[in-house]
Amino acid sequence: MISTTGPAAVGRAALGSAALIPAAVGRAGSGAGSLGSGGRPGVAPVAAVGGGVVVRAAPGADTDPPRRAPQLLYAGDSDGRAVVLLLDGDRVVRYAEAVTGRGARELDFARTDEAGVTTAAALTLVRSPDGGRARYLLAPWIAVAGTRDLLRAGEDTKPLALAADGVTAPVEVPRSAGACAAWPALEVTSSARIVEKHSFVLADLGTLTPVHLTYTPLPDGPGAAAARQPREATGVAARAAWAATACRLPEMRGMRDGGVRAVNIWEFASSELPDGGGRAVWSCTRTSSWAGPGDVLVRLSPAAGPPQDVARAPDTAACGRFGQHLLAGTRWRSPAGRWYLLAAGSREVTGITASGAVRAEARGRTLAAPAGPEAAAVELTGRLASGGRVTALDGGGGGRD
């Protein structure tokens, strides 16, 4: 598949737009010759892929031969597999084969458009035969690595051994089938010598590029903060939100089939439920793809009982940088057995109107109105502080302002 020119491997190498930073030599190669541009180790691709190679590509990742010499990120033996990782423009390519004997040969392509400190921090190097464990190649700006179970918000992060070449010790990965009893994730901390020191969380969805998990807190009440970009999923509130959401990640994996860049939980509103139902939190979980569009899931989480799905929408800007105004509604049965129409809006919503089977109006960002047990059609409209309008997210034409 690949022949090397010059040194056969670099250990820790920056991904994305950053320059390669060799830190160790991995697997020795037999090739000799010049280095790639800028003094970097170069690689010369073989034009044809032989038979018997399993080729997998994330959505939008092309499998054409490179138009220029790729950058070698890693070449070495790991857990009985010979592995090569290459950076080629806006994609990463991994080739793997058995070191000895016969075995599957694999060629994986993944997108890395504008990958940064968090989204370029790790690549999946090798997986165990049963898929239950994996090793990762971490970027040179990662100083500390650990693992934690997303379902157990109160547990501390456990240290993860990291070799000089940036390869981690084997890590348990989430199971793709069976009961969701645990959800292992990486928590890594960047080095202040290279970039700003901070910790962030990465989840393995079974692909080449682990997914960056983030959290946006409520705009009011305890822990409220001014509107800005999502936070890292490391604080107390973020851990609690992800403990209630992690088991839904397999569905998000299915939505994008390997093209996921990041997943953010945005808690956009809270409301007091009727008939003593307690305080509920409204959240929008957005799965962002490398291509830009994302899929969203809105949920209502009561003080007691499991969260309730409210709305889904595919290929939308909602709950992201270009879709910051949100309105959602659902029917809900109170502890007293009565049915209500509940609705909530994001920060800029100043009023909500319901029409159709339920006619009601409320000032502010939440609404609760009696509703019959039948799921009759209701239209929701939110008024914005700017004077504009936003319709309810419904997976169809709703959710626009």
pLDDT digits (tens, 9 = 90+) for 217-272: 998 765 566 666 899 999 999 999 999 999 999 887 645 555 899 999 999 999 99
Residue 27: pLDDT over 60: no
- Considering just the CA atoms, what is the radius of gyration of the chain in Å? 24
Collapsing DSSP to helix, strand or coil, 380 comes out as strand
What does the mean pLDDT of the chain come to? 84
Half-sphere exposure of 371 (CA within 13 A, CB side): 28
The secondary structure of the chain in percent helix, strand, coil, rounded to multiples of 5, reads: 5, 45, 50
Edge to edge, the sheet with strand 133-138 lists 122-127, 133-138, 171-172
Residue 200's CB is within 10 A of a number of other CB atoms, namely 21
More confident residue, 177 or 212: 212
Q: What is the pLDDT of residue 23?
A: 28
367-387 tens-digit pLDDT:
999 998 787 899 999 999 999
Structure tokens at 171: 């890590």
**Average pLDDT for residues 308-314, to the nearest whole number?**
94
**In the chain, pLDDT over 90 holds for what percent of residues?**
64
| Cα separation, 301 vs 285, whole angstroms | 13
Confidence band, pLDDT 50/70/90 cuts, at residue 401: low
| Count of H-run helices and E-run strands, the chain | 2, 27
Structure tokens at 60: 């939008």
N- to C-terminal Cα distance for the chain? Answer: 51
Least confident of 8-12, 16-20, 82-86, 323-327: 16-20
34-69 tens-digit pLDDT:
222 233 333 333 334 556 889 988 877 889 999 889
**Average pLDDT for residues 201-212, to the nearest whole number?**
94
Residue 140's CB is within 10 A of a number of other CB atoms, namely 21
Q: Let me know the angle formed at the C-alpha of 254 by 182 and 234, rounded to the nearest 5 degrees.
A: 45
372, 347 Cβ separation under 8 angstroms: no
Q: What is the pLDDT of residue 118?
A: 94
Residue 322: pLDDT over 70: yes
**In the chain, pLDDT over 70 holds for what percent of residues?**
82
399, 391 Cβ separation under 8 angstroms: yes
Q: What is the pLDDT of residue 400?
A: 62
Amino acid letter for position 187: E
Q: What is the pLDDT of residue 222?
A: 59
| Global pTM value | 0.86
Q: Is the dihedral of CA 288, 253, 242, 155 positive or negative?
A: negative
104-162 tens-digit pLDDT:
899 999 999 889 999 999 999 999 988 899 999 999 999 999 999 999 999 999 999 99
User: Which residues sit opposite 111 in a β-bridge?
Assistant: 91
Structure tokens at 25: 């030599």
**Average pLDDT for residues 67-92, to the nearest whole number?**
94
Structure tokens at 104: 């599957």
Type and span of the H or E element at 266: strand 260-273
**Average pLDDT for residues 183-208, to the nearest whole number?**
91
